[in-house]
């Protein structure tokens, strides 16, 4: 057993290649431990004024890492230095979680706070690129990265392992209480408040081999030659579209969507009212869903050489 801190340990992370583990504590310090040196403490990082809530390594430079703290700041560090490279005052209350944008084209950090917002920060210019509001409580649950076909959900405030299991895909709904797990190509599960969907699940799920799932106003999937969207609550099919998609992106407001294929992409507008109207009329929902729920705004015959960059530029304000 390793006695790492004199106070509660709220988070830890493992270096992607080196034999180093970082721990963050209520003692307001971060410590680096080398297990190849009999778990010797090789560095202590000081400077925060409250509990350390989350630590994450920079995927573009694994010699640097960021941490979130309840002192309202995010700090960027180098492994070799005990003092922070710089500090970002990013929220109006404590910060529970921070992570790096996974693409290689943008120096972005994504973070959540007790001020009930999610913010995207450029850590080079040290400026806020986007703020998302609408949560009525602090965002506390976040999915971790997959490890060999497994997923883990942690509670952010205490960083406890809330639930885990097998899965090849994971996505959140628009709220922080509903999520979907793709266990295999023909096994799709939807959970709300960590309990599986009480009805029969998503209508027809298992009838199609699914390659990936996507969160948003509706639950999206794609497989060979099709995309399907389900209503999170009822499990009914919102729309079945015949297209060989490779990816799906939603705009920030959840009204526009890009369906991406190898040589083209389609911009669609989601009409929740049109879908609800058909339900109220008593329309029987078939495997094709409701045609009026999506309108094709544009079809662009071009490959997306940089899909993430395109989404940030075009969908940032939509």
Q: Residue 242: what pLDDT?
A: 93
Please name the helix (run of DSSP H) or strand (run of DSSP E) that holds residue 312, with its range, or none. helix 307-315
Tell the residue number behind the tokens 């999937």, with chain if given.
221
Length of the chain: 318
- Please name the residues in contact with 226: beta carbons below 8 A apart, sequence gap of 6 or more: 208, 240, 241, 242, 243, 245
Please report, for residues 39, 53, 114, 313, the alpha-carbon distance to residue 3 in angstroms, rounded to integers and kept in the order given: 10, 19, 30, 47
Q: What is the pLDDT along the chain (318 residues), one digit of tens a residue?
A: 677 888 888 888 999 899 999 999 999 999 999 999 999 999 999 999 899 999 999 988 899 999 999 888 899 999 999 999 998 887 667 888 899 887 667 788 888 887 777 888 888 877 777 776 554 444 444 444 444 566 666 554 444 556 677 788 888 887 667 889 998 999 998 988 888 876 557 888 888 999 999 988 999 999 999 999 999 988 999 999 999 998 888 876 788 888 888 877 888 999 999 999 988 888 888 999 999 999 998 887 765 554 444 554 455 445
Give the integer Cα–Cα distance in Å for 223 and 204: 14
> In the prediction, which pLDDT does 76 show?
92
Q: What residue ranges define each of the domains in the chain, with the CATH number in brackets?
A: 9-132 (2.130.10.10), 151-315 (2.130.10.10)
Look at residue 273 and give its three-state secondary structure.
helix
Instruction: Return the bridge partners of 58, or none.
Output: 61
For residues 48 and 6, what is the distance between their CA atoms, to the nearest angstrom?
16
Alpha carbon dihedral 102, 103, 105, 107, in 10-degree steps, equals: -10
């Amino acid at each position: 057993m390793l006695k790492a801190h004199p106070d509660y340990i709220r988070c830890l992370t493992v270096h992607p290649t080196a034999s180093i583990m970082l721990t963050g504590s209520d003692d307001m310090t971060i410590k680096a431990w080398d297990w190849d040196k009999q778990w010797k403490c090789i560095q202590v990082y000081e400077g925060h004024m409250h509990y350390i809530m989350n630590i994450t390594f920079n995927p573009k430079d694994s010699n640097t890492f960021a941490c979130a703290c309840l002192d309202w700041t995010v700090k960027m560090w180098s492994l070799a230095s005990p003092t922070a490279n710089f500090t970002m005052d990013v929220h109006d209350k404590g910060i529970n979680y921070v992570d790096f944008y996974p693409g290689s084209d943008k120096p972005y950090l994504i973070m959540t706070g007790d001020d009930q917002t999610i913010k995207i920060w450029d850590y080079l210019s040290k400026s806020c690129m986007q703020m998302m509001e609408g949560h009525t409580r602090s965002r506390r649950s976040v999915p971790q990265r997959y490890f060999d076909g497994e997923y883990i959900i942690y509670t952010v405030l205490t960083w406890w392992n809330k639930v885990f299991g097998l899965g090849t895909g994971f996505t959140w709904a628009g709220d922080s209480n509903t999520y979907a797990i793709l266990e295999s190509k023909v096994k799709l599960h939807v959970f709300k408040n960590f309990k599986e969907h009480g009805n029969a699940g998503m209508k027809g799920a298992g009838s199609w081999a699914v390659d990936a799932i996507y969160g948003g106003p509706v639950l999206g999937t794609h497989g060979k030659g099709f995309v399907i969207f389900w209503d999170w609550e009822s499990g009914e099919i919102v729309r079945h579209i015949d297209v060989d998609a490779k990816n799906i992106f939603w705009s920030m407001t959840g009204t526009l969507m890009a369906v991406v294929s190898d040589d083209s992409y389609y911009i669609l507008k989601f009409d929740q009212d049109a879908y609800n109207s058909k339900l109220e009329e008593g329309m029987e929902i078939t495997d094709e869903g409701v045609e009026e729920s999506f309108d094709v705004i544009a079809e662009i015959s071009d490959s997306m050489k940089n899909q993430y960059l395109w989404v940030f530029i075009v969908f940032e304000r939509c």
